Amino acid sequence: MEYVIMTTGFALTISGLYGLLSQKNMIKMILGFTIFTTGINIVTVAIGYIKGGTAPILDDAGKAVGKYVDPVPQALVLTSIVIGLGVTALMLAYVMKLYKDKKSLNINDYKDLKW
Amino acid sequence: MNRKTLIALLIAAMAVVLFPLYESYQGSEALSEVGQYYADNGVEDTGAQNLVTSVVVTYRGLDTLGEVTILFLAASIISFFLSFSKEERIENRQVRSITEILTTSAQILVPMIYMFGVYIFVNGHLTPGGGFQGGAVIASGTLLMFLSNPNFKLNHKIIHFVESTSGLVFVLIGVVGAMMMDGGFLSNKIAGYGFGQVGSILSAGAIPVIYTFLGLKVGTELSNVLGIYVESQNEK
């Protein structure tokens, strides 16, 4: 089971990076970036997996029931998802402003920072 | 060397870097040392049933404060970046017609989505969920509202009031924890008091309070970002 999650995570990471590099449309590049971060988040959660473990929530008496998966990577990924959301929203705002300026989403039309 | 080969080379290099991690990975049998500590002492230290919540809000509370700051910064930059003056505004922007199904279902669903978001962040210390998740659910309700009526306007006064007050309360709880509670900044342990019955809503010290204000802050902040996106379409 853990290998399925791990393979999915790495596959998403690689395909997201490919999308980020190969696309010319800026919206599609942002989509590639989000797929990339999702893959990395899945890999991080998979690292904290314990064989036969369940969600790290105790029972009503505050006692452990069976095995738990590691709560630390999950807390890290929670932080990472929120920051990824902020970065994505910021990138989308930049793209909206750029589109308003030049009416183009193609990254090749923006050569202001090219030397 | 053309572009495609370069991309292929980069992807291959990335795969080579990641492969050892994949190959050496095997599901572990026992928790790591830190995870084991949290699993053993989480209830005594924080009173929260959900261990992820106790890690996020209490053990690593300072990181969460930083995370909220990053989100606030992103929202501020977006509102600064997409702002425009009154002269550049188009009045009564033409939008495509919205179907009856969407408007009617939005009227029924939006209050329920808001209620579900509140449920998620109020129960953050008991069940999976918490302030960020609940806030995201609330913002999705606002998104549905914008989809069903693109000319819908958020009340910026209320939004800004709720957002800044919740952020301030979060920091104030941290300061109160440093001054009155034993355990330092953002501690949730009030000296001399227990955490209450584990598993009830009013337990786990300051965690439900922090998560409630965090949920309000994230919900209003993300709603505000959506509102700015929609509003920026009115620019000439």
CB B232 within 8 A of CB B93: no
CB B227 within 8 A of CB B219: no
The whole-number pLDDT of residue B194 equals 59
Q: Which one of A96, A99, A108 makes the best mutation probe of the B interface by having the most chain B beta carbons within 10 Å?
A: A96
CB contact under 8 A, A58 and B51: yes
Q: Hey, is the C-beta of B194 within 8 angstroms of any chain A C-beta? A: no
User: Which among A51, A79, A93 is the nearest to B67, CB-wise?
Assistant: A79
Confidence of residue A30 (pLDDT cuts 50, 70, 90): very high
The whole-number pLDDT of residue B181 equals 59
Tokens 């989403």, residue? A105
Confidence of residue A28 (pLDDT cuts 50, 70, 90): very high
Q: Hey, is the C-beta of A11 within 8 angstroms of any chain B C-beta? A: no
Q: Note the ipTM here.
A: 0.82
Q: H-type helices in chain A, by residue range?
A: 2-22, 26-47, 71-102
The whole-number pLDDT of residue B37 equals 79
CB B125 within 8 A of CB B50: yes
CB contact under 8 A, B128 and A57: yes
The whole-number pLDDT of residue A109 equals 83
CB B117 within 8 A of CB B211: no
CB A18 within 8 A of CB A31: no
Q: H-type helices in chain B, by residue range?
A: 3-24, 33-46, 51-53, 61-81, 100-122, 131-148, 156-180, 207-232
Q: Hey, is the C-beta of B226 within 8 angstroms of any chain A C-beta? A: no
Chain A stretch 12-71, residues whose beta carbon is closer than 8 A to a beta carbon of chain B: 13-14, 17-18, 21-22, 43, 46-51, 55-62, 64, 68, 70-71
CA gap B64, B109 in Å, rounded: 31
Q: Hey, is the C-beta of A4 within 8 angstroms of any chain B C-beta? A: no
Among the residue ranges A9-23, A99-113, B53-67, B173-187, the one predicted with the least confidence is: B173-187
Query: What is the token pair recorded at B131?
Result: 């302030």
Q: What is the pTM of this model?
A: 0.82
> What are the pLDDT digits (tens) for B44-81?
777 777 888 888 877 887 888 888 888 889 988 998 88
- The arithmetic mean of pLDDT across residues A69-94, rounded, is 88
State percent of chain B over pLDDT 90: 6
Residues of chain B with pLDDT under 70: 1, 27, 177-202, 204
- The arithmetic mean of pLDDT across residues A103-114, rounded, is 81
CA gap A35, A11 in Å, rounded: 10
CA gap A35, A13 in Å, rounded: 7
CB contact under 8 A, A96 and B232: yes
The whole-number pLDDT of residue B28 equals 73
What does A24-56 look like in DSSP terms, one character per residue?
-BHHHHHHHHHHHHHHHHHHHHHHT-BTT-B-S
The whole-number pLDDT of residue B113 equals 92
The whole-number pLDDT of residue B147 equals 86
